[in-house]
Amino acid sequence: MANVAKKVSWSGRDRDDDEDGRAGETTPLLNGTGPGAAGGARQLTPSSFLRIGQLSNVDLNEDIHELTELPRQRPNEIPHNEKLLSLKYESLDYDNSENQLFLEEERRINHAAFRTVEIKRWVICAMIGILTGLVACFIDIVVENLAGLKYRVVKDNIDKFTAKGGLSFSLLLWATLNASVVMVGSVIVAFIEPVAAGSGIPQIKCYLNGVKIPHVVRLKTLVIKVCGVILSVVGGLAVGKEGPMIHSGAVIAAGISQGRSTSLKRDFKIFEYFRRDTEKRDFVSAGAAAGVSAAFGAPVGGVLFSLEEGASFWNQFLTWRIFFASMISTFTLNSVLSVYHGNAWDLSSPGLINFGRFDSEKMGYTIQEIPIFIFMGVVGGILGALFNALNYWLTMFRIRYIHRPCLQVVEAMLVAAVTATVGFVMIYCSRDCQPIQGSSVAYPLQLFCADGEYNSMATAFFNTPEKSVVNLFHDPPGSYNPMTLGMFTLMYFFLACWTYGLTVSAGVFIPSLLIGAAWGRLFGISLSYLTKGSIWADPGKYALMGAAAQLGGIVRMTLSLTVIMMEATGNVTYGFPIMLVLMTAKIVGDYFVEGLYDMHIQLQSVPFLHWEAPVTSHSLTAREVMSTPVTCLRRIERVGTVVDILSDTSSNHNGFPVVESNPDTTQVAGLRGLILRSQLIVLLKHKVFVERANLSLVQRRLKLKDFRDAYPRFPPIQSIHVSQDERECMIDLSEFMNPSPYTVPQEASLPRVFKLFRALGLRHLVVVDNRNEVVGMVTRKDLARYRLGKEGLEELSLAQT
Amino acid sequence: MANVAKKVSWSGRDRDDDEDGRAGETTPLLNGTGPGAAGGARQLTPSSFLRIGQLSNVDLNEDIHELTELPRQRPNEIPHNEKLLSLKYESLDYDNSENQLFLEEERRINHAAFRTVEIKRWVICAMIGILTGLVACFIDIVVENLAGLKYRVVKDNIDKFTAKGGLSFSLLLWATLNASVVMVGSVIVAFIEPVAAGSGIPQIKCYLNGVKIPHVVRLKTLVIKVCGVILSVVGGLAVGKEGPMIHSGAVIAAGISQGRSTSLKRDFKIFEYFRRDTEKRDFVSAGAAAGVSAAFGAPVGGVLFSLEEGASFWNQFLTWRIFFASMISTFTLNSVLSVYHGNAWDLSSPGLINFGRFDSEKMGYTIQEIPIFIFMGVVGGILGALFNALNYWLTMFRIRYIHRPCLQVVEAMLVAAVTATVGFVMIYCSRDCQPIQGSSVAYPLQLFCADGEYNSMATAFFNTPEKSVVNLFHDPPGSYNPMTLGMFTLMYFFLACWTYGLTVSAGVFIPSLLIGAAWGRLFGISLSYLTKGSIWADPGKYALMGAAAQLGGIVRMTLSLTVIMMEATGNVTYGFPIMLVLMTAKIVGDYFVEGLYDMHIQLQSVPFLHWEAPVTSHSLTAREVMSTPVTCLRRIERVGTVVDILSDTSSNHNGFPVVESNPDTTQVAGLRGLILRSQLIVLLKHKVFVERANLSLVQRRLKLKDFRDAYPRFPPIQSIHVSQDERECMIDLSEFMNPSPYTVPQEASLPRVFKLFRALGLRHLVVVDNRNEVVGMVTRKDLARYRLGKEGLEELSLAQT
């Protein structure tokens, strides 16, 4: 039997600071015990008690009683670990609420109008592609110019002081430059928009999975992200500008598809049809794909990334639109950058990073090399796991001690200065000189080398990471000596690990590739040495495999990463070895520790739903999984009751089953529909109710537009004033509730519930008994809390943070 | 309002000849009217009458009465058109029946055992890849040798008779050779396994969609398919060997994953866990992908093909396994063919067809060319639509007049002879001579050309189509004169159109590519002529675009085809223009007529579920869509009733809702579960019942193994003998029924029902009312019959054929 230990730390909860005042799905009302009472399977009372509306004073008092009783069990500070599931994240609703209003609208729309909607979708995708491409161009051009400026200044300075001594001034200059640039980048992130930190890939993964991360697709986030990533790269951190493109694309998509900006308070009155979670999610997938496409020149890889991370329900038309956006994105980037680089028509820059041409004739692989590649995959998996483990401890440390913005900025500056110092010392100590002729080094540092030679360590450190990667792939054999590569790998590994998780906008793709390329090339050189310089042991090829192995070992992406690497090399020949390497790296890495993104998602305690329920969870049924009792509303309900329920801070449900209100059918209170908090808020705001005495009167009609205008920032219940008279009015929910919510019987197994929930992107799933009476509710947290741990099935605790 | 016209031609029906004696899902019992009474929305009686078990004599008589009354409305021969939906196709069940036995087994299996299952899945995928690759090698090598032999014989003969006159002997030899080879190929298909005809892609699409096509994944089909495709290609038909690889891969996958062959009566007692539709489907996806991968050297394209056509629920692990199988498949093919061709280690043959190296530097495209590519897409769309329209009329003709196997063989022979004749005449009449030096022609025919020259028309006609395609892509400018290309395009277009649909195993990919490459090259030459020979107008590049346009215009695949073309060219540079061309071709083509595969699926009246419900179908609800009344069983049911229901040839239901059997709850007969015909058959076969007097006795226990052993060919009910005494026994279904079938309320809109059904791969969806009583049943046919026609929503008729 699986070991099902349950810890529910508390259920009484404060309001969170989310702007629309909602918090939490329909959560269980205090049916758990404190952490002290953990252990053993959860005992459920078999009573299927229905709390129909009317929160009596007794009820409220009970809640308060329990609230005041609980704090002694509540620890002052929750040790932040991955065994918790935070209640502060809400779900997105990827299932349309098919209420009467919606159906009436859909029925009014004829075939031609649907075609218009379809054309609009394509237009939006084209715009997403174009804008994402342009943003990528902007980042690329600005980084290139600023970094060029910086390197030229430092190089001049170094050249000056190399002759007359006093290189410590150069170091100081370099470190100060880096630290100050990074400071600006860190300040804007830490103080203005913390969600713009990092690559944004975990956040987008969560969004596509159905978790609402506050502010993640805001215009402000985009601006901070773009500025932040430019500053991080120019500041010389061990970061890339590719990962953030995915986030940027997603924000662009979310913005365009809604036809308005709530930040700028502009509503263009277009694309109103798309103002709901389902449609927005589809466009965000396209935006993320366009971002990948622009970053790596990998349109197919972008589509696969979006599908791997997000779309649970594969739809051919959607996929084709996503592909269109991706293609447009890389094409836009390619055109603009080609023009910028002066060779207008040749379309030679499909992505922000371009691995360069791998000539398959010169650098083809043979069957004998396959075991070697697999071995490299093993190394990549181990190194990746090490990277993730180190980063895990670092992140735990940061969560505990470096949570104040000022400290975060100071840490970022420190890392920037250290990065510069390490680079400088490494370059200074290196005695690896290479002839400058025929090499493609952008900023050759002569330092102590003879005239006409340059310091080889400087090609790796004194350059943007993208250029270093390409150099490692393509520089002719002999460009680096093994010592240089070894030292570089070691140093860069720790620097990159320290850098990931800083409060700056930056990606981990390029540093991973760089580490991998360095040890891969080292490996290739050793191999060539061992085999007495066989021609097949091309160090560039091994650098590529090393890069794939290292990246795979860190992020553990599979299909999409293979395709991205294939497209970035512009060559399908390496498909098979890259796949082998990535697969090996993933298997080996997974043996030790999770992938970096998943790890960070878990550290944030996000209720993330994986692809399938844990394999050993067939022993659980909906009955054990669901939250109960459920707060239900009657079809014709008293306004005061609705207000009380919505204001009840101890539960904060977001979806309410609607049951039959006929008083003489007390026995069978069958499910009639489901209504959302956001819908109720709009109803209350527009005063859609009638006096109890005049029930025959028709209540005010609302249009779907009223709901769309309020989307996605519905006001909190506190901002809606309901007078005492109005409290006694009645509200008829029939027209607004979803009359056909998905339901499961209590006997359904967890995998079955999970499959339904995941495949349809649900937010609320009502559990009914044999007579169609509501007995429970399953939400994302009820499913996400079951996980396959080392010793079998484990259950995460729910927590406030 | 949508125009909902309904025609139900009849409901009383004969048994079909399917080997397991089942036919049709739960179909409506005569609730439609004859074709004469068509028009207007269906009127449903609001009564939710439950037919609980006990088919009384009255019931039966009623059925017979209606049966005898109906034939006057039944036309003698149904005009076979695409407005029908055949009842002879059954559904596959992609939703696990989670009954007690299943859950008990799953609960017994611990974490380690699940890992074993997972490893087995990977092993099976590797085996699928290897075997598919080997089969592709076998086909390739045999075709190469046999075709080489044939062309050498004919060439020698032609060379002999060119000098001394009497070339008609050569023509006779060529035509006879072709016709006799094709005769053999056609005989084995027509007389032994008709399902092996064609490319098999429509059949695999249907299988992955959830439709059971009899014999489609049998070993016999594979053998006939492989032999058939070899004979068709050697016989000189305008066909390719690529499409059938997809079918072959699927059969291999289905065979291996079950660990036994029912045809060979061998059970290896392995992989028993995978003996159900869900698991088998997953492996068949992998097999289809491996087939694409081997055919085109396109592993990613293969994965996308499988996903586009089949997997409705995207699962990361599954996708990764599919990708693994694809990679292994192309790698196996590559290794074996490389060894066969003597350059053992260079891995230069990733697929059956290889478009050859497109040098992106020489053949890159510029932005100005994009409008030209789009224009080519338009041409491809129009030509593709023309091809499909012609083929449609041809197929209708064939269905009406050429349905006897002998006639089919004669037609195939005729086409073979005509193909040879047309080729010969074209070559004979052509005066286009090219210098033999520096060209890569395999069988240069000199004919009336000067010494050292060859007939250019012969490179196109006197060659396997694969080689002709590559020649058109890569022969240097000037290798073909425009007249040759024009005539070739015209002739080959009609030949290919005539050939598709013959009773031979053959694919349409290569002929389409060849037609497109020919007119594309012609287009390129014209362009070069118009622009006074600008260097950018490389005819090979335009041949590639033309090939893409033509293929896209015919088959209308999108994402997967783009990737397949990209991988086959080994170059990602052309991704954007190929995508544009394919998209334009699809949009233009769709304006006129459907894609070739979809057209043939419709002509077969297969109840195929598209990705989404028709956009204007929100006006329909489950109440209108469902079949009613439903034959229900009680939880403890009389054996005689079960036998009667299963034997009832007029209904032939396959799934039966199980309702509460307590006699005093007549009012609320709530749904308790769902049981399948196949399960009941197994129960009856194993005599799992007890005497009515001894209800307290425990009935015989069955194991999941008993069900798996019977899968997939469950015996017909007629073969199970139940004595009169046994008929009076009682059978307890609780343990075997699925206790948590998915349900929808009557108010659910059609798109909502459709989404649930499609996303979860259901076979039966129970419609319940507010009290959880069964009021109807939705099956595949109920959903597939609604389609978006030219004038809005239309409803297909159900028919027997």
Mean pLDDT on A613-628? 87
Mean pLDDT on B212-216? 89
Say yes or no to pLDDT of A455 above 60: yes
Q: Which residues of A touch B121 (CB under 8 A)?
A: none
Q: Which residues of B touch A315 (CB under 8 A)?
A: 611-612
Q: Which of B558, B740, B792 sits opposite A748 (nearest CB)?
A: B740
Give the best residue of A572, A621, A674, A762 to mutate against chain B (max B CB count within 10 A): A572
| Residue carrying the six token digits 């004038």 | B791
Inter-chain touch A110–B616, beta carbons under 8 Å: yes
Q: Which residues of B touch A110 (CB under 8 A)?
A: 616, 792
Report helix, strand and coil shares of chain B as percent, to nearest 5.
55, 10, 35
Inter-chain touch A110–B315, beta carbons under 8 Å: no
CATH number of A47-59+619-787: 3.10.580.10
Say yes or no to pLDDT of B42 above 50: no
pLDDT score recorded for residue A248 = 95
Q: Which residues of B touch A314 (CB under 8 A)?
A: 307, 311-314
> Could you tell me how many CB contacts below 8 A there are between chain A and chain B?
216
- The tens digit of pLDDT for each residue in B253-267 reads 999 998 887 777 788
Domains A47-59+619-787 and A114-144+197-340 share a fold: no
pLDDT score recorded for residue B555 = 92
| Residue B416: band (very low, low, confident or very high) from pLDDT cuts 50, 70, 90 | very high
pLDDT score recorded for residue A156 = 87
| Residue carrying the six token digits 């334009």 | B584
Inter-chain touch A323–B570, beta carbons under 8 Å: no
Distance from CA of B236 to the nearest CA of A (A): 32
Inter-chain touch A583–B324, beta carbons under 8 Å: yes
- Cα separation, A433 vs A316, in Å, equals 55
Inter-chain touch B579–A323, beta carbons under 8 Å: yes
Strands, DSSP E only, in A571-635?
Answer: 631-634
pLDDT score recorded for residue A342 = 80
Inter-chain touch B572–A573, beta carbons under 8 Å: no
Q: Which of B345, B618, B759 sits opposite A103 (nearest CB)?
A: B618
| Residue carrying the six token digits 């299932």 | A95
pLDDT score recorded for residue B71 = 38
| Residue A439: band (very low, low, confident or very high) from pLDDT cuts 50, 70, 90 | low
Q: Which residues of A touch B561 (CB under 8 A)?
A: none
- Cα separation, A34 vs A1, in Å, equals 24
Inter-chain touch A559–B367, beta carbons under 8 Å: no
Mean pLDDT on B662-666? 53
| Residue A44: band (very low, low, confident or very high) from pLDDT cuts 50, 70, 90 | very low
Inter-chain touch A611–B315, beta carbons under 8 Å: yes
- Tell me the ipTM for this assembly: 0.85
Inter-chain touch A567–B562, beta carbons under 8 Å: no
Residue pair A679/A707 in contact by the 8 Å Cβ criterion? yes
Domain at B370-403+465-603, CATH class:
mainly alpha
Distance from CA of A22 to the nearest CA of B (A): 27
**CATH H-level superfamily of B35-89+610-799:** CBS-domain (3.10.580.10)
Say yes or no to pLDDT of B321 above 60: yes
Inter-chain touch B335–A367, beta carbons under 8 Å: yes
Burial of residue B532, with CB atoms counted within 10 A of its CB: 0-12 exposed, 13-18 middle, 19 or more buried: exposed
Say yes or no to pLDDT of B602 above 70: yes
Q: Which of B313, B364, B573 sits opposite A313 (nearest CB)?
A: B313
Q: C-alpha angle with apex A358: A353 to A360, nearest 5 degrees?
A: 150
Give the best residue of B314, B358, B744 to mutate against chain A (max A CB count within 10 A): B314
Parse chain B into domains and list their residue ranges: 35-89+610-799, 370-403+465-603
CA–CA distance from A426 to each of A411, A485, A490, B525, B670 (Å)? 22, 11, 11, 59, 77
One-letter amino acid for residue B215 of the chain: H
Distance from CA of A284 to the nearest CA of B (A): 18
Q: Which residues of B touch A744 (CB under 8 A)?
A: 740
| Residue carrying the six token digits 């070069």 | B528
Residue pair A436/A444 in contact by the 8 Å Cβ criterion? yes
How many CB atoms are closer than 10 A to CB A172? 15
pLDDT score recorded for residue B543 = 92
pLDDT score recorded for residue A697 = 63
Decide the pairing of beta strands A764-768 and A743-745.
parallel
Burial B106-145 (b: 16+ CB within 10 A, else e): bbebebeeeeeeeebbeebbbbbbbbbbbbbbebbebbbe
Rounded to 10 deg, the angle between the B677-685 and B639-647 helix axes is 130
Say yes or no to pLDDT of A330 above 70: yes
Q: Which residues contact A634 (CB under 8 A, 6 or more apart)?
A: A52, A53, A658, A659, A660, A661
Inter-chain touch A365–B347, beta carbons under 8 Å: yes
Inter-chain touch B313–A314, beta carbons under 8 Å: yes
Lowest mean pLDDT among A323-337, A698-712, B668-682: A698-712
Q: Which of A740, A747, A760 sits opposite B748 (nearest CB)?
A: A740
Q: Which of A570, A619, A671 sits opposite B107 (nearest CB)?
A: A619
- The tens digit of pLDDT for each residue in A352-403 reads 887 877 765 566 777 778 899 999 999 999 999 999 999 999 999 998 888 8
pLDDT score recorded for residue A712 = 80
3-state secondary structure of B375: helix
How many CB atoms are closer than 10 A to CB B37? 12
Mean pLDDT on A309-335? 83
- The tens digit of pLDDT for each residue in B495-523 reads 999 999 999 999 999 999 999 999 999 99
Inter-chain touch B756–A755, beta carbons under 8 Å: no
Give the best residue of B97, B111, B612 to mutate against chain A (max A CB count within 10 A): B111
Say yes or no to pLDDT of B89 above 70: yes
Say yes or no to pLDDT of B776 above 60: yes
Average pLDDT in chain A: 81
Inter-chain touch A618–B319, beta carbons under 8 Å: no
Burial of residue A407, with CB atoms counted within 10 A of its CB: 0-12 exposed, 13-18 middle, 19 or more buried: middle
Lowest mean pLDDT among A109-113, A305-309, B210-214, B369-373: A109-113
* Closest residue in chain A to residue B572, using alpha carbons only: A570
Inter-chain touch B576–A330, beta carbons under 8 Å: yes
Distance from CA of B273 to the nearest CA of A (A): 14
Q: What are phi and psi of A777, to 5 degrees?
A: -140, 135
Pick the CATH number of A114-144+197-340 from 1.10.3080.10, 1.10.357.10, 3.40.1410.10, 2.60.40.2550: 1.10.3080.10
